[in-house]
Structure 1
């Protein structure tokens, strides 16, 4: 399915916000060559998302943003590793925004105590599992709290093209969130950074969010 931008997506998810030490990112962050020289650090995130609706239907997603990058005169976030549960999302993500999506299988289970058990696997090999339990009151969350939030990716739709070029995307999102506690975190570093080594600054369970991924800007 060909689904050009913009996309509007809705769903629920888990956001882990952390400072990932540079040695950790260099060793386990799956940085592409164009990201290696641009990496600056600061705050990054891991997101586990259960999209209920999108331009290519429901799908699930796991992504890693190591922190900020400096591309020329532009400072931006950049995704270095990402898995989704839809081949249509893989193809369109790579074509539309240069997002290096790979296919994986996801299991999201809600437990009796309100926690959620999540497992991500590829070819029958589980490489990430965790349990997240939300707590406390709900509060609004929006990308408007982060003015200038943007993601820069290298073009993936022109194999062999020189120079490859960059795509800058300014997504927007809003929803409700609660604080969450993680437990039972297990990661296979051949597939994803070892989250058990990281002490997050915050973990948020996000509910009923709405996100827009617009047409990117060529850089």
Structure 2
């Protein structure tokens, strides 16, 4: 099943910022080698339950080691590790945006305001998170944020992919109770410290066509 960009997605999500050792973010973060080490800043973990997309519902866990200095001199965030529960999402995400999506199993459980998720890849648990939703969620017009803040970049197969998603929905505070990774397929989150988390109980996201060019001309 081919599903070219753009995509219009709807779902709910958690986003957590963590302080992690620079060496861990570089060695376990999964970003393209051509980007080198991430510059100073937090790492981000996102857990998403997409209820609607061009390839149907699926779940996703991703890790961004931090901002990177791209070959053109601009600083951008880049997704290093990303796992999804759907083969169609993996195939099309990799093709459309230069990602390295891999298919994994998700055990996602909700009880009251607490949610626990364990992710399994190649018959082993590679990550587990426990988060609490706190307080009310208020309208969040994310599409009004400057495009430079929302632009992500990937480098894959000698090409640079740049894309600028937009999102709108509701945003509330959350607490990251527990986070761990196996250190091989997902970073050792337990080596870090939470710097805050938010949840979006209902959002709509637009993922546009990526701008691509050969890395040599970046």
TM-score computed with the length of structure 2 as normaliser: 0.89
Q: Deviations over 1:35-54 (max 9, x none)?
A: 226x3232431101000000
One of 175, 182, 186 as aligned partner of 1:188: 182
Partner of 1:26 in structure 2? 26
Shift of 1:123: 2.9
- Where 2:49 maps in the other structure, the secondary structure is strand
1:36-93, CA deviations, whole angstroms, 9 ceiling, x for partnerless residues? 26x3232431101000000100011111111111211322111111111111111111
User: 1:187 offset after TM fit, Å?
Assistant: 2.1
Q: Do structure 1's residue 57 and structure 2's residue 62 form an aligned pair?
A: no
Question: Bigger shift: 57-66 or 193-202?
Answer: 193-202
Using the alignment, how far apart are the partners of 2:167 and 2:81 within structure 1? 21
Matches within 5 A, 1:141-156: 141=140, 142-145=142-145, 147-148=147-148, 149-156=150-157
Count of residue pairs the alignment pairs up = 210
Gaps of 5+ in 1: 157-163
Runs of 4+ residues deviating >6 angstroms: none
Distance in 2, matches of 1:211 and 1:186, equals 27
CA separation in 1, counterparts of 2:178 and 2:100?
28
List runs of 5+ in structure 2 lacking aligned partners. Answer: 214-218
Q: 1:146 to 1:133 in 2, by over 3 A?
A: farther
Mapped to 1, the partners of 2:180 and 2:68 lie a distance apart of 28
**Residues 99 and 125 (structure 1), Cα distance of their counterparts in 2 relative to 1, 3 Å cut:** same
Could you give the per-residue CA deviations for residues 99-130 of structure 1, whole angstroms, max 9, x where no partner exists? 1111101121111x321111110133112112
Aligned 8 A contact 2:62 2:81 in 1:
yes
Give the match for residue 16 of structure 2. Answer: 16
Counterpart contact for 2:174–2:198, Cα < 8 Å: yes
TM-score, length-scaled by structure 1:
0.89
Deviations 1:146-197 (A, max 9, x none): 54111111244xxxxxxx1201001111121221122243321121111122
